[in-house]
Amino acid sequence: MARLPLAPRQRLLAWDEATAIAVAVVCFIIPLLTKSVLVYSVLNHALIGVIAAQSVWIMLRMNLLTFATPAFMALGGYTVAIAGRYEITDAFLMTAAAFLVPALVAVPLGALVLRLRGTYFVLVTFVLSQIMQLLLFQTPDLTGGSNGIAGIPAVTLFGTEMISHRQVLLFACGIALIATLIAVALTRYFRQHFAAIEENEILSESLGLVVWRYKALGFVVAAGLAGLAGYSLVNMLLTAHPSSFDSAIAVDFIAYTIIGGRESILGPIIGSVALVYATHAFGTQGQYAQGLYGVLILVVILVARGGIVGTARLLWRRMRGPRA
Amino acid sequence: MLLQIDALHVRYGGITALSGVSIDVPEGETVLLVGANGAGKSSTINAIIGLVSPSGGRIVFDGKDLATTPCERRARLGIGYSPEGRRVFPTLSVTDNVLSGAFGLGRAKQKEALDWLRSVFPLLVDREKQPAGQLSGGQQQIVALSRAMASFPRLLLLDEPFLGLAPVWIQQISDAILQLRARGTTVLMTEQMARPALKLATRGYVMRGGEVRRSGTVSEIRDLALADEYL
Amino acid sequence: MEQFLQAAVIGISLGAQYALLALGFTLIFGILGVVNFAHGGFYMIGGYVAYSCVGLLGLPYPLAVLIAVAATAALGWVFELFLLERLIDDHLATLMLTLGLYLIVSNGLLRVFGPLSMEFSFPVSGSIQFGPIYVPRENLIVLGICLSAILALWLVLFRTDLGRALRALADDRQVAMAQGMRPKLLFPAAFALATGLAGLTGALVTPILALSPGVGDPVLATSFLTVILGGLGSLGGAALAAFIVGIVEAYSSVYFGGSIGALVLFTLVLLLLVFRPTGLLGREIRGA
One DSSP character per residue, C169-206 reads HHH-HHHHHHTT--HHHHHHHHHHHHHHHHHHHHHHHT
Flag whether residue C228 sits within 8 Å of chain A, measured between CB atoms.
Answer: yes
Question: What is residue A1's predicted lDDT score, i.e. its pLDDT?
Answer: 39
Question: What is residue A10's predicted lDDT score, i.e. its pLDDT?
Answer: 59
Return all residues near C287 (Cβ < 8 A) that are at least 6 apart. none
Say how many CB pairs under 8 Å bridge B and C: 73
Subunits that touch chain A (at least 3 Cβ pairs < 8 angstroms)? Answer: C
In the predicted structure, residue A205 carries a pLDDT above the cut 90: no
Q: How far apart are CA A118 and CA A214, in angstroms?
A: 17
Among C195, C164, C214, C187, CA closest to C69: C195
Angstrom CA distances, A242 to A81, A126, A135, A246, stand at 12, 16, 10, 6
Question: What is residue A102's predicted lDDT score, i.e. its pLDDT?
Answer: 97
Amino acid symbol at B115: D
Angstrom CA distances, B117 to B83, B95, B102, B146, B169, stand at 18, 10, 12, 6, 17
Task: Tell which wins on pLDDT, C282 or A79.
Answer: A79
In the predicted structure, residue A305 carries a pLDDT above the cut 90: no
* Residue of A65, A255, A294 lying closest to C107 (CB–CB): A294
- For residue B92, the chain C residues in CB contact (below 8 A) are 164, 167-168, 171
Q: How far apart are CA A102 and CA A72, in angstroms?
A: 6
Among B133, B192, B97, B116, CA closest to C175: B97
* Residue of C91, C96, C224 lying closest to A118 (CB–CB): C91
Q: Could you please report the per-residue DSSP string of A90-125?
A: BHHHHHHHHHHHHHHHHHHHHHHHTT--HHHHHHHH
Question: What is residue C281's predicted lDDT score, i.e. its pLDDT?
Answer: 62
Q: Which of residues 21-80 of A touch C (CB under 8 A)?
A: 63, 65
Task: Tell which wins on pLDDT, A228 or C269.
Answer: A228
Flag whether residue B50 sits within 8 Å of chain C, measured between CB atoms.
Answer: yes
**Residue A129: count of CB within 10 angstroms of its CB:** 26
Q: How far apart are CA A73 and CA A132, in angstroms?
A: 10
CA A153, A158, A164, A168 dihedral sign is negative
Give the SS3 label for residue A315: helix
Cα-based torsion angle of the residue sequence A266, A271, A272, A273 in order, rounded to the nearest 10 degrees: 90
Q: How far apart are CA C89 and CA C75, in angstroms?
A: 21
- In tens digits, what is the pLDDT along chain B, a chain of 231 residues? 899 999 999 988 778 899 999 999 999 999 999 988 888 899 999 999 999 999 999 999 999 999 889 998 998 899 999 999 999 999 899 999 999 999 989 999 999 999 999 998 999 999 999 999 999 999 999 999 999 999 999 999 999 999 888 899 999 889 988 888 888 889 999 998 888 888 899 999 999 889 999 999 988 888 888 876 655
Question: What is residue A285's predicted lDDT score, i.e. its pLDDT?
Answer: 56
- At CA C32, angle to CA B103 and CA C199, rounded to 5? 100
* Residue of A63, A112, A295 lying closest to C274 (CB–CB): A112
Return all residues near C232 (Cβ < 8 A) that are at least 6 apart. A120, A123, C26, C29, C30, C277, C279, C285
Nearest chain C residue to B47 by CA distance is: C178
Q: Could you please report the per-residue DSSP string of B147-214?
A: HHHTT--SEEEEESTTTT--HHHHHHHHHHHHHHHHTT-EEEEEES-HHHHHTT-SEEEEEETTEEEE
Subunits that touch chain B (at least 3 Cβ pairs < 8 angstroms)? Answer: C
Question: What is residue C72's predicted lDDT score, i.e. its pLDDT?
Answer: 97
- At CA B129, angle to CA B124 and CA B135, rounded to 5? 65
Q: What is the SS3 assignment for C97-161?
A: HHHHHHHHHHHHHHHHHCCCCCCCCCCCCCEEEECCEEEEHHHHHHHHHHHHHHHHHHHHHHHCH
Q: How far apart are CA B190 and CA A122, in angstroms?
A: 43
Segment A194-213 shows an average pLDDT of 84
CA C238, C84, C105, A282 dihedral sign is positive
Give the SS3 label for residue A22: helix
Question: What is residue A184's predicted lDDT score, i.e. its pLDDT?
Answer: 94
**Residue A6: count of CB within 10 angstroms of its CB:** 6
Is the backbone of residue C94 left (phi > 0), alpha (psi -120 to 50) or beta? alpha
Domain boundaries, chain C: 2-215
**Residue A34: count of CB within 10 angstroms of its CB:** 13
Angstrom CA distances, A101 to A145, A243, B173, stand at 20, 20, 64
Q: Are A81 and A278 in contact (CB under 8 A)?
A: no
Q: Are B28 and B201 in contact (CB under 8 A)?
A: no
- For residue B51, the chain C residues in CB contact (below 8 A) are 174, 177-178
Q: Which of residues 133-152 of B touch C (CB under 8 A)?
A: 133, 147, 151
Segment A61-78 shows an average pLDDT of 95
Flag whether residue B91 sits within 8 Å of chain C, measured between CB atoms.
Answer: yes
**Residue C112: count of CB within 10 angstroms of its CB:** 10
Question: What is residue B88's predicted lDDT score, i.e. its pLDDT?
Answer: 95
Q: How far apart are CA A64 and CA A110, in angstroms?
A: 12
- For residue C30, the chain A residues in CB contact (below 8 A) are none
Question: What is residue C68's predicted lDDT score, i.e. its pLDDT?
Answer: 97
In tens, the pLDDT along A22-43 reads: 999 988 988 888 888 888 989 9
A115 and C274: CB-CB below 8 Å?
A: yes
Please count the CA atoms within 13 angstroms of the CA of A50 that sit on its side-chain side.
Answer: 32
In the predicted structure, residue A3 carries a pLDDT above the cut 80: no
* Residue of C92, C100, C262 lying closest to A118 (CB–CB): C92
- For residue C96, the chain A residues in CB contact (below 8 A) are 65, 254, 258, 297, 301
A137 and C101: CB-CB below 8 Å?
A: no
In tens, the pLDDT along A4-19 reads: 444 444 567 788 898 8
How far is B10 from chain C, CA to nearest CA, in Å?
18
* Residue of C171, C177, C283 lying closest to B89 (CB–CB): C171
Subunits that touch chain C (at least 3 Cβ pairs < 8 angstroms)? Answer: A, B
Q: Are C36 and C25 in contact (CB under 8 A)?
A: yes
Q: Are C70 and C225 in contact (CB under 8 A)?
A: no
Return all residues near A7 (Cβ < 8 A) that are at least 6 apart. A191, A192
* Residue of B90, B99, B104 lying closest to C171 (CB–CB): B90
Flag whether residue B83 sits within 8 Å of chain C, measured between CB atoms.
Answer: yes
Angstrom CA distances, A107 to A27, A197, A221, C243, stand at 32, 19, 10, 35
Question: What is residue A286's predicted lDDT score, i.e. its pLDDT?
Answer: 54
- For residue C215, the chain A residues in CB contact (below 8 A) are none
Flag whether residue B101 sits within 8 Å of chain C, measured between CB atoms.
Answer: yes
Q: How far apart are CA A223 and CA B201, in angstroms?
A: 64
Amino acid symbol at B123: L
Nearest chain A residue to C35 by CA distance is: A119
Given a cut of 50, the residues of chain C with pLDDT beneath it are 284-288
Say how many CB pairs under 8 Å bridge A and C: 124
In the predicted structure, residue A2 carries a pLDDT above the cut 60: no
In the predicted structure, residue A117 carries a pLDDT above the cut 60: yes
Q: How far apart are CA B203 and CA B217, in angstroms?
A: 4
Among C182, C150, C152, C184, CA closest to C168: C182
CB neighbour class for C93 (10 Å; exposed up to 12, middle 13-18, buried from 19): middle
A127 and C33: CB-CB below 8 Å?
A: no
Return all residues near A323 (Cβ < 8 A) that are at least 6 apart. none
Return all residues near B139 (Cβ < 8 A) that are at least 6 apart. B123, B127
C180 and B73: CB-CB below 8 Å?
A: yes
B49 and C178: CB-CB below 8 Å?
A: yes
Among C120, C110, C124, C148, CA closest to C52: C120
Q: Are A178 and A185 in contact (CB under 8 A)?
A: no
Nearest chain B residue to C285 by CA distance is: B91
Flag whether residue B96 sits within 8 Å of chain C, measured between CB atoms.
Answer: yes
